């Protein structure tokens, strides 16, 4: 395996230790009984057809065929698994679960004005006649509700996805429908409406960023916002297979789960990389575990994709001076040393559509803010904002690649700075800064994202990468070769009342995003090809092992998901970030 290093002295990063699954606790331990118990696995092999043949010979039927990563999801006993491993070179992963990423808490208000488009400068894009038409955005989530703001465009016509009817695919049942679909949770509808809602407020302003874009729902998460890896991967596989039929260009993933391995070993991440390599812009939430370093989850830790953190306007949308990073927004770097999130977007007290019968609406009725509108906070909502802007960019220039979209979003983002021009938050917290739709749509920047990296080779398991982040003797996170402007100190707290400015012309702002990952020569970095497994510990790996408390103390309500990264079993989940305190 070829491992490409992006640092001069930074040693090859070792894999995160994948903790073995706890043995089943039986009232009367019996080895024979234990052997008969089954476990759901995701099993991949280079020879996919041969894998299917060997599994069939075990007299078991896979629950999912995951061709996108040459894998099957199947229930096996330990004896059957051992037999399969003897017959074929396979990679085995527990079929974990994931969760969604959203929160909510605030005072009851009347139906709110539509302010997001003004806050991110999407209004002037719409005034130029760009509403995202011709571009389809898919939301891999809890499903969609069949409501007017989602099924109709801004002129009241039924939405089309490419030259076909839009609709909803259920990755759990493997069925697609174009009418009368619904969801139980409310999360998927809320998130999707932020990006594409065609309804207007009392002043005639549109709620959605790309209200004429096509919309597809991909349901993989249940009413509690939880899903198995197999269902999520099936959903991604469906998106890749149907992308040309629906002109699916953007895939929104407002969920996160614990990091259990290097980014390239995770089967969900492998599917995500495949989607990116197939020309789909993947936008994922950083997670809601707070500003503690290294809290970005799966799939936000994939270096190629656009990972989004959240900011809040402090309930004063037209007063930028009190804007701040949301307390719940997860921070980087990743264990491999990549800077995450890539940028931030509004994610505090965001108004969106939701059925009154949805589970979230029934659990938190006090956050209904008029009609079918409901207020939620989270990196889920921020992610949808970025997906909407990506649709505008692709409507303006359909020839853009995913790397182009990422480059232009990051190169035009505005960093939060203090009055003296210094960064108000580390790049590991705010990335390149706050998204700016108009500048991103008009940008001609290129070659500033994912240079020197090959996502196709990465997804194929042939080449992998590490980023420029390191940790010093005082356990502060830094960018090698850069000043302390880019440091994140482990005892640093998010200052709620900090006065900041959003600035796009900070001299050092764009440089870090052009040089940290790609322009190695300018920073005296080197590319090292090593034909061997990763064995040496990097500073970040050592930090992870010796100060594991950082994985446990971020956000109290989500603490279990990070504790289970050290000791997990088949029952753990990956999920949408369903609920946080409103900000």
- Residues catalogued as catalytic: 141, 187, 380
Bridge partners of 107, per DSSP, are none
Using DSSP, state whether 572 is helix, strand or coil. coil
475: tokens are 């356990």
Question: For residues 496 and 560, what is the distance between their CA atoms, to the nearest angstrom?
Answer: 26
Angle at 379 between CA 378 and CA 380, to 5 degrees: 85
Q: Could you tell me which residues are beta bridge partners of residue 283?
A: 252, 306
Q: Could you give the angle at which helices 78-87 and 48-57 cross, rounded to 10 degrees?
A: 140
Q: Which of 261, 391, 286, 266 is nearest to 340 (CA)?
A: 286
What is the rounded distance in angstroms from the CA atom of residue 211 to the CA atom of residue 199?
8
Contacts of 74 (CB under 8 A, 6+ apart): 40, 41, 43, 55, 60, 61, 62, 63
Eight-class DSSP state of 298: B
Q: Tell me the pairing of strands 214-219 and 167-170.
A: parallel
Contacts of 86 (CB under 8 A, 6+ apart): none
Query: For the range 17-22, what are the long-range contacts, defined as Cβ-Cβ under 8 Å and sequence gap of 24 or more?
Result: 17/545, 18/260, 18/261, 18/265, 19/260, 19/565, 19/566, 19/567, 19/568, 21/94, 21/568, 21/569, 21/570, 22/567, 22/568, 22/569
225 phi-psi bin (left φ>0, alpha ψ -120 to 50, beta other): left
Residues 6+ apart with CB under 8 A from 484: 478
Q: Which of 156, 106, 53, 11 is nearest to 534 (CA)?
A: 11
Q: Are 285 and 350 in contact (CB under 8 A)?
A: no
Residues contacting 560, CB < 8 A, separation 6+: none
Helices (H), 142-283: 148-151, 187-196, 229-246, 267-277
Return the SS3 of 219.
strand
């Amino acid at each position: 395996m070829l491992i490409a290093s992006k640092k001069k002295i930074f040693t090859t990063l070792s894999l995160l230790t994948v903790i073995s699954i706890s043995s089943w606790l039986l009232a009367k331990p019996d080895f024979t009984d234990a052997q008969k118990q089954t476990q759901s696995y995701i099993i991949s092999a280079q020879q996919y057809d041969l894998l299917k043949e060997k599994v069939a010979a075990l007299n078991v039927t896979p629950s999912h065929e995951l061709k996108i990563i040459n894998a099957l999801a199947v229930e096996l006993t330990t004896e059957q698994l051992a037999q399969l491993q003897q017959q074929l070179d396979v990679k085995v992963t527990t079929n974990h679960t994931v969760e969604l990423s959203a929160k909510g808490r605030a005072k009851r208000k009347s139906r709110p004005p539509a302010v997001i488009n003004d806050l991110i400068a999407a209004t002037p894009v719409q005034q130029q006649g760009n509403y995202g038409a011709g571009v389809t955005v898919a939301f891999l989530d809890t499903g969609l509700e069949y409501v007017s703001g989602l099924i109709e465009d801004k002129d009241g016509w039924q939405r089309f996805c490419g030259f076909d009817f839009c609709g909803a695919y259920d990755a759990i049942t493997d069925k697609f429908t174009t009418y009368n679909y619904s969801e139980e949770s409310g999360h998927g509808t809320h998130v999707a409406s932020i990006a594409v809602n065609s309804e207007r407020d009392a002043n005639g302003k549109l709620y959605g960023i790309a209200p004429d874009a096509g919309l597809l729902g991909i349901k993989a998460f249940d009413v509690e916002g939880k899903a198995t890896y197999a269902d999520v991967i099936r959903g991604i596989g469906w998106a890749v297979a149907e992308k040309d039929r629906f002109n699916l260009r953007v895939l929104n993933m407002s969920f996160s789960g614990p990091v259990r391995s290097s980014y390239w070993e995770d089967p969900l991440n492998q599917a995500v990389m495949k989607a990116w390599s197939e020309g789909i812009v993947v936008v994922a939430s950083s997670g809601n575990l707070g500003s503690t370093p290294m809290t970005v989850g799966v799939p936000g830790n994939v270096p190629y994709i656009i990972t989004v953190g959240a900011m809040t306007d402090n309930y004063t949308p037209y007063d930028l001076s009190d804007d701040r990073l949301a307390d719940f927004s997860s921070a980087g770097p990743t264990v491999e040393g990549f800077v995450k999130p890539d940028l931030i977007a509004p994610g505090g007290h965001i108004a969106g559509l939701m059925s009154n019968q949805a589970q979230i609406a029934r659990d938190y009725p006090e956050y209904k803010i008029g009609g079918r509108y409901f207020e939620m906070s989270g990196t889920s909502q921020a992610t949808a904002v970025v997906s909407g802007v990506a649709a505008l960019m692709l409507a303006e220039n359909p020839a853009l690649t995913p790397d182009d979209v990422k480059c232009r979003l990051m190169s035009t983002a505005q960093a939060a700075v203090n009055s003296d021009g210094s960064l108000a938050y580390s790049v590991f917290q705010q990335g390149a800064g706050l998204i700016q739709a108009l500048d991103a749509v008009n940008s001609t920047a290129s070659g500033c994202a994912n240079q020197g990296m090959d996502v196709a080779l990465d997804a194929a398991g042939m080449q992998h990468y590490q980023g420029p982040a390191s940790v010093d003797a005082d356990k502060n996170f830094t960018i090698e070769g850069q000043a302390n402007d880019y440091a994140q100190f482990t005892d640093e707290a998010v200052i709620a009342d900090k006065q900041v400015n959003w600035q796009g012309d900070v001299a050092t702002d764009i440089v870090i995003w052009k040089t940290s990952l790609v322009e190695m020569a300018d920073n005296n970095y080197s590319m090292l090809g090593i034909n061997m497994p990763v064995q040496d510990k990097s500073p970040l790996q050592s930090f992870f092992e010796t100060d594991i408390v950082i994985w446990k103390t971020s956000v109290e309500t989500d603490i279990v998901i990070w504790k289970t990264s050290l000791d997990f079993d088949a029952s753990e989940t990956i999920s949408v970030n369903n609920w946080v305190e409103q900000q």
